[in-house]
């Protein structure tokens, strides 16, 4: 039996801007999307360029150009196929959770009553989820 690596689009929310806006309407334009370069996780494209020594424009073009399958930017995955290790899969799950919580944080309902920064909001939501998981076990 042949094994085909999973498509990135099955793991990450929709790649088209319109679909992402429908799914996450309150996500801010300043939200940072991470990149995966040669099976290493980077928080942003500037971090990739800083650590690899490549110019930021070159990194972004490689992430957007399909033949460079080792360069993946989670903002635009362009149907790339990738083989993922367990670490990268877990990081993608964390990123998806963080992205959905950023959407909740920026929503009008939460904006009216929030008193703290996103980092604290994110930690609080993770803590609530862990407590809920512990109660279910």
- Whether 63 shows a pLDDT value over 50: the answer reads yes
Q: What is the pLDDT of residue 2?
A: 38
Q: What is the pLDDT of residue 20?
A: 66
Task: Give a three-class secondary structure readout of the chain.
Answer: CCCCCCEHHHHCCCCCHHHHHHHCCCCCCCCCCCEEECCEEECCHHHHHHHHCCCHHHHHHHHHCCCCCCEEECCECCCCECCCCHHHHHHHHHHHHHHHHHHHHHCHHHHHHCCCCHHHHHHHHHHHHHHHHHHHC
The domain spans of the chain are: 8-136
The per-residue pLDDT for range 41-60, each reduced to its tens digit, is 999 999 999 999 999 999 99
Confidence band (pLDDT; 50, 70, 90) for 129? Answer: confident
The per-residue pLDDT for range 65-117, each reduced to its tens digit, is 888 888 888 887 766 777 778 898 888 888 888 888 888 888 888 777 777 78
In this prediction the pTM is 0.73
């Amino acid at each position: 039996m042949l094994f085909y690596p999973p498509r990135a689009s099955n793991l990450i929310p929709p790649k088209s801007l319109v679909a992402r806006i429908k799914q996450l309407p309150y996500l801010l334009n300043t939200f940072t999307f991470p990149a995966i370069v040669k099976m290493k996780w980077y928080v942003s494209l500037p971090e990739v360029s800083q650590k690899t020594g490549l110019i930021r424009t070159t990194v972004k073009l490689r992430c957007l150009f399909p033949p460079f399958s080792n360069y993946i930017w989670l903002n635009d995955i362009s149907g790339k196929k990738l083989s993922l290790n367990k670490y990268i899969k877990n990081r993608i799950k964390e990123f998806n959770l963080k992205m959905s919580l950023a959407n909740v944080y920026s929503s009008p309902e939460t904006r009216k009553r929030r008193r703290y920064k996103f980092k604290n909001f994110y930690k609080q939501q993770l803590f609530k989820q862990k407590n809920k998981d512990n109660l279910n076990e």
